Chains A and B, each alone.
Chain A
Amino acid sequence: MAEVEGGGCELFSAGHRACGGCGPALAARLLLKATGKNVIIAAATGCMEVFSTPYPETAWGVPWIHSLFENPAAVASGIEAALKRQGRTEKVVCIGGDGSTLDIGVLCISGAFERGHDITYICYDNEAYMNTGIQRSGATPYGASTTTSPAGPCSLGNPRPKKDMPAILAAHGAPYVATASIAYPNDFVQKVERAINTPGPCYIQVHTPCCTGWGFESGETLNMAKLAIETGLWVNYEMVDGRVEKAKKVRRKPVEEYLAKQKRFRHLFKPARRDDVIANIQAIADANAERFGIDIKRKESSE
């Protein structure tokens, strides 16, 4: 892990307005530990932007710019071009939530990655539009109830699985694409260090549970992130030049252990168990395990 400069002071300062137990706030803090001071951040509209920069206060100890919801990759393209022309050395890092990154900002991200700008894009994935009050995004998992994919007699919750943004950006020829989780901070920091030191456009999608949006106690954020990994519903992996390398192996737990702890999946258990939906979610985890080869040899008895 990069040593934090300035006598141990945090570059992402305390005192911001995030909820207690906020996953994205932890990701921001870890991100700046990895980048150090020589960085310029281009941020999207979203929870992180709002809780960290209410004028005239800012939590950012590095140069930071927010323009719009969908354009940090385009803003960063301009910053990178300007720095190149001026002969400057700052790294350029974008930050966007999953709504910005997987939905409204895809055009700008695709353009920036296709053009090959030397930028790193960090998507903090809390699996819905949390800033506006928990609406579904392209990153909302199958079966999750949100305010725009509510569960009901005619709805199982969000009807679609998560969009595979890492694969989309790997297909753009990105030299380095990774997923990470705030439950594994050293891994996240190392991936950021690798991304910012890899020439060309790099992408990291970091899983950042949202206690408010998912419905769990604020002290459980890291446990929830860890359970996502342990059930195979989130996989930490790296893709180098489009090939998957180093997926984190786990001894998998049933997805129910993860689902039952969150209000967004409560309708799968009450008033009646939805075994069909739970089985479909288990199938998603099984497919992840198969695709990334993450299973540590399972005992027959645990089947």
Chain B
Amino acid sequence: MLEFMEGSHAVAEIVKRCRPQVIAAYPITPQTHIVEDLAQMVANCEIDAEYITVESEFSALSACLGASAAGSRVYSATTSQGLALMFEVCFNAAGMRQPIVMTIANRSLGAPLSIWNDQQDSISLRDSGWLQFYAEDNQETADLHMIAYKVCEDHDVLLPAFVCFDGFILTHTFEPVALPTQEEVDAYLPAFNPYQRLDAENPLSFGMYATPEYYTEFRYEVDRAQYRAKEAFIKAGREFGEQFGRDYSAPVEGYRLEDADTALVAMGSICGTAKDAIDEMREHGRKIGLLKIRTYRPFPAQEIADALKGVSTVAVLDKNISLGSGGAVGTEVKAALYGSGISVYDYIIALGGRDVRKRDIAAVVDLAEKGEGDMFYGLRTEVL
């Protein structure tokens, strides 16, 4: 049954049904509605969890790490500056192989201070070892949380994950969402079965230091686990589809790509606008398609190459900028298509909450087809 609700509320409702035992979070715009809703659920005895009102995002993730190591399923949510403050713990949690699920309400990073959406925050953590899943709408956001717990806790994976959805554009937007019942979630997501835990009956040391003889192999193991996570994601997504009728088994998802000459590549809510723009352009006879990246980490390079092999031009919409280099997604898409002969152009777009309309998408396509790219789109040169 579809219910009309705010994106943040949908996340809180699905997290409740995933039964975390420990929640630790710190308020930050635009993540706050999620953690407020969860706090109220704890206060109302709707959720059987400890809610730790930490004094910083740094401690939020540190507390999640401790609780996870002690054998509990955990949850946190953050964004932007909060995620930046967690930087050190992020690398640590992945290296210590703790299956923490954290929602990222994507937001830009200062300076200048901006509370509005882009994807700079989570993309800047691309090298941390966390899995990164990006949702297009609130239904997908809610569903990806269930899938994320299943993938992270798989003993062949044991990595933490960000479930990313765009700040304000999704967090504060009301959409119809189908929420599964508790029984349905329980049937999909088994109780947490930690691979190892802190336990006086079986004393183990967690987080020891490694000399050069061992460090490389630890990093190799995390890298391998990322690749195994792709298989686990495909499997968990397929199982989800079988149970709920919505299939998320594809790390990348094409839209009207079959006969496309030009393909857009994007992540998150901008995909919805792009699909509408593509429909309009196709009415005018233009062969345009979209490739949506759902799993940014592990990066689906082969899937991207396979999906785009019929197109001649690719335009990547990057809601981030690796300053001094280019858009992070564009750089990786170019690497994935290296040697294919496809022209790939990158567009830095929608930074700090700047709105993207269908005509902007069309303008990007025009630029790409003219061979103009690797640029900031829509730059207001009058204020430079």
Give A contacts to B, CB under 8 Å.
Answer: 37-40, 42, 49-50, 53-56, 58, 60-68, 70-71, 74-79, 81-86, 90, 107-108, 110-112, 114-115
Contacts and interface: CB of A to CB of B under 8 A. Distances in A.
A78 B211 CA distance: 28
11 contacts: A39-B200, A63-B206, A77-B59, A78-B64, A78-B66, A78-B70, A81-B24, A82-B71, A110-B55, A111-B55, A111-B56
Contacts of B214: 55-56
Contact of B66 (A49, A76, A114): A76
Contacts of A38: 200
B92 interface: yes
Given A39-B200, A82-B74, 6 more contacts: A63-B206, A64-B204, A67-B65, A77-B52, A77-B62, A81-B21
B181 interface: no
Given A53-B208, A86-B21, A108-B62, A81 B52 contact: yes
Interface in B307-338: none
A53 B214 CA distance: 13
B200 A90 contact: yes
A82 B52 CA distance: 11
Given A38-B200, A77-B54, A81-B50, A58 B68 contact: no
A106 to B, nearest CB: 11
B102 interface: no
The 4 A-B residue pairs whose C-beta atoms are closest, nearest first, are A78-B66, A111-B55, A78-B63, A74-B62
Given A78-B22, A78-B24, A79-B70, A54 B209 contact: yes
A108 B88 CA distance: 14
B21 A78 contact: no
A115 B209 contact: no
B203 A42 contact: no
Given A74-B58, A82-B22, A67 B92 contact: yes
Given A71-B59, A82-B71, A115-B52, A64 B203 contact: yes
Interface residues of B, number: 43
B25 to A, nearest CB: 12
B72 A86 contact: yes
B182 interface: no
A173 B299 CA distance: 49
Contacts of A58: 205, 208
A113 to B, nearest CB: 10
Given A55-B209, A55-B214, A65 B69 contact: yes
Nearest to B199: A63
B200 A78 contact: no
A82 B200 contact: no
A9 to B, nearest CB: 12
B89 interface: yes
B198 A66 contact: no
Given A55-B208, A107-B59, A74 B70 contact: no
B96 interface: yes
Interface in B12-57: 21-22, 24, 48-50, 52-56
B148 interface: no
Contact of A53 (B54, B92, B200, B209): B209
B65 A78 contact: yes
Contacts of B63: 74-75, 77-78, 81
A85 B205 CA distance: 22
Given A71-B62, A111-B59, A64 B67 contact: no
A12 to B, nearest CB: 12
B1 interface: no
A71 B205 contact: no
Given A64-B203, A67-B62, A110-B55, A78 B71 contact: no
Contacts of B49: 85
Given A54-B208, A82-B21, A85-B21, A74 B203 contact: no
A215 B265 CA distance: 63
Contacts of A63: 198-200, 202-206
Contact of B67 (A50, A53, A54, A78): A78
- Counting chain B CB atoms within 10 Å of each CB, which of A70, A79, A81 scores highest? A81
B59 A108 contact: yes
Nearest to B91: A68
Given A40-B198, A78-B63, A64 B205 contact: yes
B62 A82 contact: no
Contacts of A75: 62-63, 65-66, 69
A63 B206 CA distance: 8
A114 B55 contact: yes
B111 interface: no
A79 B89 contact: no
Nearest to B54: A111
B21 to A, nearest CB: 4
A79 B198 contact: yes
Given A74-B62, A79-B67, A68 B52 contact: no
A81 B89 contact: no
B67 A74 contact: no
B187 interface: no
B195 to A, nearest CB: 15
Contact of B22 (A55, A56, A85, A112): A85
- Counting chain A CB atoms within 10 Å of each CB, which of B62, B69, B210 scores highest? B62
A86 B20 CA distance: 12
Contacts of B200: 37-40, 62-63, 90
Contacts of B21: 81-82, 85-86
